[in-house]
Amino acid sequence: MTVKQLVGKAHLWLGLASGLVVFIVSLTGAIFVFQDDIRDLTEPWRKVEAQATPMALPSQLQAAALAPHPGQATPADTWVTYFGPERSATVFFTDKAGNPIQVYLNPYTGQVLKEQNLRTHFFSIVQEIHMHLLLPEAIAKWVVGGSVIIFVVMLLTGIVLWWPKRKHERKQRFTIKWGARWRRVNYDLHNVLGFYAASIGLVLALTGLVMIFPGMLESVQVAVDGGKKAPPEIMATQLDTLQTVSAATQPLTDIVYHTARRLSPTHEMILIAPTGTGKTPAFCWTYRKALHYYHRDEYALHPISGKLLDSRFHATKSAGTKLSDMNYDLHTGQILGFGGKLVAFLASLISASLPVTGTVIWWGRRHKKSPHKRPVRVAVG
């Protein structure tokens, strides 16, 4: 058996083993790519008219969002996000029944515009299927992660199988023969589209893998930075619990908000984490552009006094850390705007089609009809 035949066998059986998971993950990924664009068109409460007045403070938004839910959550349990001058702000919390609740508010007046239970939201369900296949997270990590690793191997072995031996075969490998029989069209769809989507598919698969296995992302960062390990994440900031400090004179979330506005004045989006029990720092992230997660500054503040403990600015981060921050935007294609998302969408659709067309090729070869033998005429003397 030649090397190419061995590669073909590996490509076949690995594809059959992982095909269903790859199909589901790729299809849900294609659906999720444009989720913000679709929601902006179908959910009018996500947008507001920009005003010249200052935005309401986080404590005001928290109070308005929690008012219909007495006893379900406290301000210290909520995530508050400002999305920019023309977008609603949100307050997110989990009620006592375990339901993830997202409340949309006018960021200037604090008026509640819409409340959603994300457990039943279409795109939340799509995201959960994409990430976990509705399985327990500990199991899904290996089922989805293992299948994506196999998919990476499939793309690489597929390129080996696609590569033409002779020059005159190259044109054939780049085009689909639409006028041929359906089996040939299916074969071309698998080979030609698979080749065109391979590079983008690899980016989507690898950026997805580092979300499943964060250690991979740390290794990439170290490699890009020439072996230098990045400083600990902002959430690893230590707090001296024995130190006596004066309590803040205003709500902690408001202090966090003012600090973020002062130190990152040009950033559109501000995400404030739950301030908790006061035993760990209060964290905040600011993003230069709404709904884009690459270019960000990070802050940790004292949970009692509100004093700034640590900060990380995008401009001072290493190349490896910036690449790490870029991972989600690369995975969804939105780092290149609408065009990038369109490319990610098409590549995801093609990736979903590959297990289907590949299975059809395998099935056709297993059940290929042999030509009918002509009856032998015997001359009778």
Condensed to tens digits (0 to 9), the pLDDT of residues 203-237 reads: 999 999 999 998 888 898 999 999 888 888 898 89
Cα dihedral 242, 244, 250, 256 sign:
negative
End-to-end CA separation in angstroms for the chain: 50
The total of other beta-carbon atoms located within 10 Å of residue 52's CB is 6
pLDDT at 51 > cutoff 70: yes
Condensed to tens digits (0 to 9), the pLDDT of residues 355-370 reads: 999 999 888 887 775 5
Q: Tell me the pLDDT of the chain averaged across its residues.
A: 91
Q: Where are the beta strands (DSSP E) in the chain?
A: 79-82, 89-94, 100-105, 112-117, 269-272, 282-287, 296-301, 308-312
Residue 381 pLDDT class (50, 70, 90 cuts): very low
158, 197 in Cβ contact below 8 A?
no
Cα Rg of the chain (Å, integer): 27
| Cα–Cα distance, 94 to 277 (Å, whole number) | 16
**Mean pLDDT value across residues 307-327:** 94
| Cα–Cα distance, 281 to 240 (Å, whole number) | 10
Q: Which residue has the higher pLDDT, 196 or 270?
A: 270
pLDDT of residue 369: 58
Name the helix (H) or strand (E) containing 91: strand 89-94
Cα 210 off chain centre by: 10
**Mean pLDDT value across residues 102-121:** 97
Length of the chain: 381
pLDDT at 65 > cutoff 50: yes
Q: Which residue has the higher pLDDT, 315 or 377?
A: 315
pTM summary value: 0.88
Which amino acid type is present at position 30?
A
33, 333 in Cβ contact below 8 A?
yes
With a CB cutoff of 8 Å and minimum separation 6, the contacts of 272 are 58, 79, 80, 81, 253, 256, 257, 260, 282, 283, 284
pLDDT at 376 > cutoff 50: no
